[in-house]
Structure 1
Amino acid sequence: MKLGQCIKAGALGLSLFCLSQANAQVFENERFKFGIKGGYSLSSIAPTSKKNVWNDGQDHRNGFYAGVVAEYSLTREKGASIQLEVLYSQQGVKYKEDVPFIGQASYTLEYDYITVPVLAKIYVIDRVALYGGPTIAFNVNDKSVLKIDHVESSFNNDINKVDVLATAGVEVTIFDGIYVEGRYNHGLKSVFKDAGNNFNNSNIQVGVGFKF
């Protein structure tokens, strides 16, 4: 083979190699998606035992959640992926009980967490995914208020600063990068230390997000 032909063949081979590497890099970059999300959170603290005053007049806390998300695809086509999130989540409960000789007392427990869900996600069809996995929650605010006859006072509950929850939900892409989601989180640890019964965090979250 002449020198010119060798140079041309080498240049062609180098070009094909560079093109394949570029395509591989593009694919690898497309595997990662980052984004933001936020929405409405309806929370409660559910006792394990139903024989408890917390079930009388129990209500939910209305709040929000918001944060960042990163998703890594395990397959070339949309099939399976791992999703990691860091969220600020408002949780808690409101409930009432009758106190003898005093009247009705209302309690408002506002517990806010930084949560870190680690989720396995399966795309059942192109734009619809089911996911589930554990969530680690770190308490960053615990505010408890007792109200009797329009008189309010704050008090402290001895709560666990770290919680573990089971998370399951669905995500639906409505436009490129824009999606809506709904999920349920259920605590696997008691919210309170040394509680006679376990009181578990429980919340439903509905929100919207964007990935790029």
Structure 2
Amino acid sequence: MFKKQILIAAFAILSISAFAQETTFGVKAGVNFSSIGGDDTEEIDGRTGFHVGGLAEIMFTDQFGIQPELLYSMQGATSEDTPAGISIKEELKLDYLTLPVLAKYKFAPGWNLHLGPQIGFLLNAKNESEVFYEGETESESEDLKDYVSSIDFGLSGGFGYELDMGVFFDARYYLGLSDINDDNEELDSDYSVHNNVIQLSVGYKF
């Protein structure tokens, strides 16, 4: 289903680019510092991952334009507990294909602000756990894709700096607005959690 949605978005972006003053393309990659917010998440820690993908910068004037991106993004969270002398470490791994469409404003030479909606399509969802007890370790991996919403939606925004040679740097925060919990049968319907991600990126525009 998400392939159809991506094709629709790509067609819309190509149509918009016909009115652009200038369109450039690029690639980017970087680190993710992700977490899960919402109900009963006080004891949950962040997960460090990465993101990689491509972008198009569509400028309508020298200062204002839009920047759609298509990124593979590793997100999720971690937790650690030590009940009765047992050490339990868990890592929630959520992998998304994300499509942010950002309004971009170049407010000074080299500098820009960007803000806009982002939709994410869930690729994988796993919980990996390790239990340490009396010198022994037991590992387990559980597929959670049936319990995590296939679509994530939120707002993404930040700032960036670009060198004359085309190399650029971005710092961005993503605030998930949709509930990623899809386990409506076992959990109370009021239980809601969402993604939060800090992204630091380096890229190059052609």
In structure 1, the residue matched to 2:151 is 162
**Aligned partner (choices 55, 59, 63) of residue 69 of structure 1:** 55
Closer, same or farther: CA 156–29 of 1 in aligned 2, 3 Å = closer
In structure 1, C-alpha distance between the alignment counterparts of 2:30 and 2:117, rounded to whole Å:
20
Counterparts of 1:180 and 1:108 in 2: how far apart (Å)? 29
Matched, 1:207 2:191: no
- TM-superposed deviation, 1:61: 1.1
1:207 shift after superposition: 1.1
Give the RMSD, CA atoms, in angstroms: 1.8
The aligned residue for residue 60 of structure 1 is: 46
Q: Give TM-score, length-normalised by structure 1.
A: 0.77
Give SS of 1:191's match: coil
| Match of residue 163 from structure 2 | 174
Q: What is the letter of the counterpart of residue 38 of structure 1? A: A
Aligned to 1:130, the other structure's residue is in SS state: strand
Amino acid at match of 2:30: G
Question: Secondary structure of the equivalent of 2:163?
Answer: strand
- Amino acid corresponding to residue 46 of structure 2 in structure 1: H
Which amino acid counterpart does residue 155 of structure 1 have in structure 2? E
Match of 2:129 among 146, 158, 163: 146
Ranges in structure 2 where 5+ consecutive residues have no aligned partner: 1-18
Q: Determine the structure 2 residue equivalent to 1:41.
A: 32
Which one has a larger percent helix, Structure 1 or Structure 2? 1
Amino acid at match of 1:142: A
Point out 4+ residue stretches in structure 1 off by more than 3 angstroms.
101-104
2:20, 2:58 within 8 Å by CA — same for their partners in 1?
no
Stretch of structure 1 that moved more, 189-198 or 172-181:
189-198
Q: Does 2:92 correspond to 1:106?
A: no
Q: Map Cα deviations across residues 132-156 of structure 1 (whole Å, 9 max, x no partner).
A: 0011100111121122222111223
Specify the code of the residue in structure 2 equivalent to 1:156: D
Per-residue deviation, residues 109-152 of structure 1 (Å, max 9, x unmatched):
11110000000011111210000001110011112112222211
The residue aligned with 1:95 is 79
CA distance in structure 1 between the partners assigned to 2:53 and 2:106 by the alignment: 22
Task: Kindly provide the amino acid, as one letter, of the partner of residue 95 in structure 1.
Answer: S
**What whole-Å deviation, never above 9, does each CA across 1:157-210 have from its counterpart, x for those lacking one?**
310011002101111012321111100001111222125421111111101111
Q: Does 1:185 align with 2:179?
A: no
**Structure 1 stretches lacking a partner, 5+ long:** 1-27
Q: Which whole-Å CA distance do the structure 2 matches of 1:93 and 1:202 have between them?
A: 10
Instruction: Quote the residue 1:82 is aligned against.
Output: 66
For 2:20 and 2:69, locate their aligned partners in 1 and report how far apart those are by CA, in whole Å: 19
- 1:60-92: CA deviation from partner (whole Å, max 9, x where unpaired): 1111111000011111xx210011100000001
Q: Distance in 2 between matches of 1:59 and 1:41?
A: 14
Q: How does 1:112-151 map to 2 (within 5 A)?
A: 112-149=95-132, 150-151=137-138
In structure 1, what is the Cα distance between the partners aligned to 2:78 and 2:28?
Answer: 26
Is the Cα contact below 8 Å between 2:21 and 2:60 reproduced in 1? no
Distance in structure 1 (CA, Å) of the matches to 2:59 and 2:150: 32
Question: Normalising by structure 2, what TM-score?
Answer: 0.80
Counterparts in 2 of 1:98 and 1:55: CA distance versus 1, 3 Å: farther
